[in-house]
Amino acid sequence: MNMENKIAARVKEVPPSGIRKFFDIANSMEGVISLGVGEPDFVTPWNVREACIYSLEKGMTYYTSNWGMPELRKAISTYLSLRFGVDYNPENEIIVTVGASEAIDLALRAILEPEDEVLIPDPSYVAYMPCVRFCGAKPVAIECSAEDGFRITPEHLKKSITSKTKALILPYPNNPTGGIMTREDLEAISEVLRDTDILVISDEIYAELTYEGKHTSIANIPDMKERTILINGFSKAFAMTGWRLGYAAGHPDLIGAMVKIHQYTTLCAPIMAQVAALEALNKGFEDGFASVEYMVRQYNRRRKVIVNGFREIGLDCFEPMGAFYVFPSIKKTRMTSEEFCERLLMDQKVAVVPGTAFGSCGEGFIRCSYAYSIENINEALKRIGNFIKKL
Amino acid sequence: MTKEILEILSEDSRRTPEEIAVMLDADVDDVRQKIKELENKKAIVKYNTIVNWDKIEREYVTAFIEVKVTPQRDLGFDAIAERIYKFPEVKSVYLMSGDFDLAVMIEGRTMKEVAFFVAEKLAVLDSVVSTTTHFVLKKYKIDGVVLEGEEKDYRQVIVP
């Protein structure tokens, strides 16, 4: 049998991940310093791990409600209200998912018909485009530039909207650029959206990692909540990537449709992770999210060290206000992003990710994560400096 | 800025004012000035190194002594605490709530040396009612630092 022919066209047409090649090379090399990881270097706080261990000892090893444990949904509702000023009913407006990734997939599958168009800022996280295509729908890139702080401008948004536009994916703070959308920025694009019936899938997984100011959710902008599916999770703010726990909040009809898919494909998120997440939130309510704030302070210091470092090396570096990435321009080296990353890896054993892995507008940029110790960052900067000097 | 400087220095006292200035996006002279002030008012007491002596060929023993004392009129526990902490063998002294009054950490070369110090110098003090000596067998964590078996970085090299 020709298995190649058995693969569905909408799966076949999605190209393999752009960073796979680097991953394989970097992984086989000794002494590699990496700035390539999109997850916190902090281990999950001990109280959270301990709560999970205790739940296993007690025998909490069963399915939960399809929606997620009621106590956890209630805590998520309180958290969203407390930290971001958005109110959702834990009874029917919140679903707990296997990572924010599942929530993105569910949201898209719940709303998309074939031929629908979904607007996605470029560059963005690698999963949106493929997930839209898996639904048989059409991803449409909104070009973003360093000059605009990698934000979606109302002009670019307006230009991209057609009669087929079903939804806008709004991933801020942004991976890979570190760009954010302030309240003013969100108000400006809401002005455009208000005249349409376009839904917003707002991926706010990096919301807590916002520096010099607080994150604003688009659900907090007048008239926007009804059309918004807000997605968040525990991976970044609570250093819980491997637990795979996220959630979505939104209109009961939309969340209900997502639950329908979730209950038949996944049933529920693992109970261990749900118990752990509940502890993370409850501890946060008690101590004012001290461990989140501690991690944010640490990231913020590293952010300043790495931005300063790239500027000293002589690479233009837009100042990221969120997440834990910098996205310096390598245009003056006259190399493509991929060429730059490959040569940097071979020559200096530093692993960074080419901007093109996140969309064609990422050409001329590299993504460097600062979820590393200051020593690691300084060593990587030194090697990148050597590399640039030798060119 | 003060709290942030203290947090950075308490994690690594070798961070230079230049490094701290970058981390906090502050002026180097302001950082230097602030550190000087903190040193002057003894908020920064000392820049110490945490040593795991078990890694070094050195015979030593640490003991934790529970000391019950009679507080003195007007002076409370302070006078007797001072009598005790002046001995160089005494590494730390805390006033405690509960079953005993002073927690005293002592370091010596041998158990015998420590036992004699307690018997001859501590127990005989006028206000000391009783002492209980506990020898430290192994140190796992000192001042927030785990000495061995810290978690390693299990992350993949590249993750989107």
pLDDT for A26 equals 87
Region(s) of chain A under CATH 3.90.1150.10: 3-44+291-390
Position B149 pLDDT exceeds 90? no
DSSP string, B49-74: ----GGGSS---EEEEEEEEEPPBTT
Tell me the chain B residues in contact with residue A125 when contact means C-beta distances shorter than 8 Å: 160
Taking only the tens place, the pLDDT of each residue in A195-229 is 999 999 999 999 999 999 999 999 999 999 999 99
Evaluate whether ipTM surpasses 0.90. no
User: Given pLDDT bands bounded at 50, 70 and 90, which one contains residue B160?
Assistant: confident
Interface A-B, measured as beta-carbon pairs within 8 A, has a size of 55
Region(s) of chain A under CATH 3.40.640.10: 46-287
Taking only Cα atoms into account, the Rg of chain A, rounded to an integer number of angstroms, comes to 21
Cα–Cα distance for residue pair A162/A310, rounded to 1 Å? 40
| Residues 124-153 of chain B whose Cβ lies under 8 A from any Cβ of chain A | 151, 153
Residue with tokens 């707990």: A96
**B71, burial (CB in 10 Å: exposed 0-12, middle 13-18, buried 19+):** middle
Tell me the chain B residues in contact with residue A302 when contact means C-beta distances shorter than 8 Å: 23
Q: Which residue of A has its CA nearest to B151?
A: A43
* Largest pairwise CA distance in chain A: 61
pLDDT for B144 equals 85
Order of strands, sheet of B61-69, starting from the edge strand that comes earlier in the sequence: B90-95, B102-108, B61-69, B128-135
Position B151 pLDDT exceeds 90? no
Q: Which residue of A has its CA nearest to B26?
A: A304
Topology (CATH) of B53-138 = Alpha-Beta Plaits (3.30.70)
Facing residue for B156 by CB, picked from A37, A301, A304: A37
| Residue A3, min C-alpha distance to chain B (Å) | 29
Contacts 24+ apart (CB under 8 A), A188-196: A188/A153, A188/A154, A189/A152, A189/A153, A189/A154, A189/A157, A190/A218, A190/A221, A190/A222, A190/A223, A190/A224, A191/A154, A192/A154, A192/A157, A192/A158, A192/A161, A193/A157, A193/A168, A193/A224, A193/A227, A194/A223, A196/A161, A196/A165
Average pLDDT rounded to a whole number, residues B73-92: 93
Contact status of B157 with chain A (Cβ, < 8 Å): yes
| Residue B38, min C-alpha distance to chain A (Å) | 21
Q: Which residue of A has its CA nearest to B5?
A: A301
Strand blocks (E) in B109-151: 128-135, 141-142, 145-146
Topology (CATH) of A3-44+291-390 = Aspartate Aminotransferase, domain 1 (3.90.1150)
| Residue B120, min C-alpha distance to chain A (Å) | 44
pLDDT for B158 equals 85
> What are the beta bridge partners of residue A119?
A140, A168
Yes or no, beta carbons of B160 and A27 under 8 Å apart: no
Yes or no, beta carbons of B24 and A305 under 8 Å apart: no
Yes or no, beta carbons of B24 and A34 under 8 Å apart: no
pLDDT for A18 equals 67
Yes or no, beta carbons of B153 and A41 under 8 Å apart: yes
pLDDT for A388 equals 96
Tell me the chain A residues in contact with residue B156 when contact means C-beta distances shorter than 8 Å: 23, 27, 37
Tell me the chain B residues in contact with residue A37 when contact means C-beta distances shorter than 8 Å: 155-159
Pick the CATH number of A46-287 from 3.40.309.10, 3.10.310.10, 3.40.640.10, 3.40.50.920: 3.40.640.10
Instruction: Report CA dihedral (A101, A106, A107, A110) to the nearest 10 degrees.
Output: 170
Residue A252's nearest CA partner among A366, A139, A93 is A93
Yes or no, beta carbons of A301 and B23 under 8 Å apart: yes
Strand blocks (E) in chain B: 61-69, 90-95, 102-108, 128-135, 141-142, 145-146
Taking only the tens place, the pLDDT of each residue in B1-20 is 899 999 999 999 999 999 99
Instruction: Enter the tokens of residue B93.
Output: 């002294």
Which residues of chain A, if any, have pLDDT below 50?
A: none
Phi-psi domain of B42 (left: phi exceeds 0; alpha: psi -120 through 50; beta: other) = left
Yes or no, beta carbons of B4 and A297 under 8 Å apart: yes
Cα–Cα distance for residue pair A230/A223, rounded to 1 Å? 14
Q: pTM for the complete prediction?
A: 0.92
Which residues have C-beta within 8 Å of that of residue A110, sequence separation ≥ 6?
A: A254, A257, A258, A260, A261
| Residues 9-28 of chain B whose Cβ lies under 8 A from any Cβ of chain A | 19, 22-25
Facing residue for A357 by CB, picked from B151, B153, B160: B160
Answer whether B136's CB lies under 8 Å from B108's CB.
no
pLDDT for A24 equals 84
Position B157 pLDDT exceeds 90? no
Best of A41, A304, A305, A321 to disrupt the B interface (most B CBs within 10 Å) is A304
Yes or no, beta carbons of A301 and B24 under 8 Å apart: yes
Yes or no, beta carbons of B158 and A127 under 8 Å apart: no
